[in-house]
Amino acid sequence: MKKLLQIKDLHAVLTEDGTEILKGVNLEIDVNELHAIMGPNGSGKSTLANVIMGNPKYKVTKGDILFEGESIIDLPTNERAMKGIFMTFQHPFEIDGIKFSSFLITAFRKLHGDDESFSQLNSILKERVQNLAVSEDFLDRFLNVGFSGGEKKKAEILQAYFLKPKLLILDEIDSGLDVDALRIVANQIKEIRKRGTSVLIITHYKRILDYLDVDKVHIYVDGKIVKSGDIGLANEVEEKGYAIVKR
């Protein structure tokens, strides 16, 4: 069977000025696997996530990204989303004037058609929101507008659950979460995984990984993966820092 995601010797530059940020990334993720990427600030982790999603700020100069065996590097972001790739943002955008529930339902219908009625989808959302320990008006507010840092991360994970992607990329979903919120978000990830969704989680901290069943940990330095291993590698990073991969 084909791998879900295959990244082969991927190089990418800033479209604006040609600065190379991704310098030869190789990564393979199978159906139902969870991979974690850890690495120093500014090493290019968010850029990798953005390049997988097809953000036009970046241009692929070498290598390829295959999703279910087919190259996606020439596809616009919306077509990658239609194929089942979803990414949560390290810094979610505020979208004034768009009610969160309307945003979610519109996105769901774009991806999965309109077999479910508006009220069916609304009631799924109302039920899901119960698990997030947020205020009752969460779904009625404009998307992320005035949300606290933790609320924004909960909004991201709700989108990830509701939109049922095949591949979920979580860029620092755990940053800025208090201990209770961290557990809530980790539980949502576990539920998402029960559907067979593969997850690529970018994080600075081992603590979220402790809640999850991690298949592989990758250490990412200066635009590429320099070391891969099991959860033991995350423990090593926590103890000794990135000195473990420096020559």
Ligand X SMILES: Nc1ncnc2c1ncn2[C@@H]1O[C@H](COP(=O)(O)OP(=O)(O)OP(=O)(O)O)[C@@H](O)[C@H]1O
Q: Which residues bind Mg ion (CB under 5 A)?
A: 45-46, 90
Q: Which is nearer to ligand X, 31 or 221 (CB)?
A: 221
Per DSSP, helices labelled H in 54-205 are: 77-83, 100-112, 118-129, 149-162, 179-194
Enter the tokens of residue 187: 């539980």
Interface with ligand X, residue 14, by CB under 6 A = yes
Cα angle 38, 189, 75 (rounded to 5 degrees) comes to: 70
Q: Which is nearer to Mg ion, 90 or 102 (CB)?
A: 90
Query: Using CB under 6 A, which residues numbered 54 to 93 contact ligand X?
Result: 57, 90
- Cβ neighbours of residue 179 closer than 8 Å, sequence gap 6 or more: none
44 interface partner picked from Mg ion, ligand X, none, CB below 5 to 8 A per type: ligand X
Sheet containing 167-171, strands listed edge to edge, beginning at the edge strand earlier in sequence = 85-88, 167-171, 198-202, 34-38, 216-221, 224-229
Q: Which is nearer to ligand X, 44 or 165 (CB)?
A: 44
Interface with ligand X, residue 153, by CB under 6 A = no
Interface with ligand X, residue 188, by CB under 6 A = no
Interface with ligand X, residue 217, by CB under 6 A = no
34-38 and 58-67 beta bridge pairing: unpaired
Cα angle 165, 166, 172 (rounded to 5 degrees) comes to: 70
Applying CB under 6 A, what is the total number of residues that bind ligand X? 12
Interface with ligand X, residue 21, by CB under 6 A = yes
Q: Which is nearer to ligand X, 50 or 144 (CB)?
A: 50
Residues at the site binding ligand X, with contacts judged by CB under 6 A: 14, 21, 39, 41-47, 57, 90
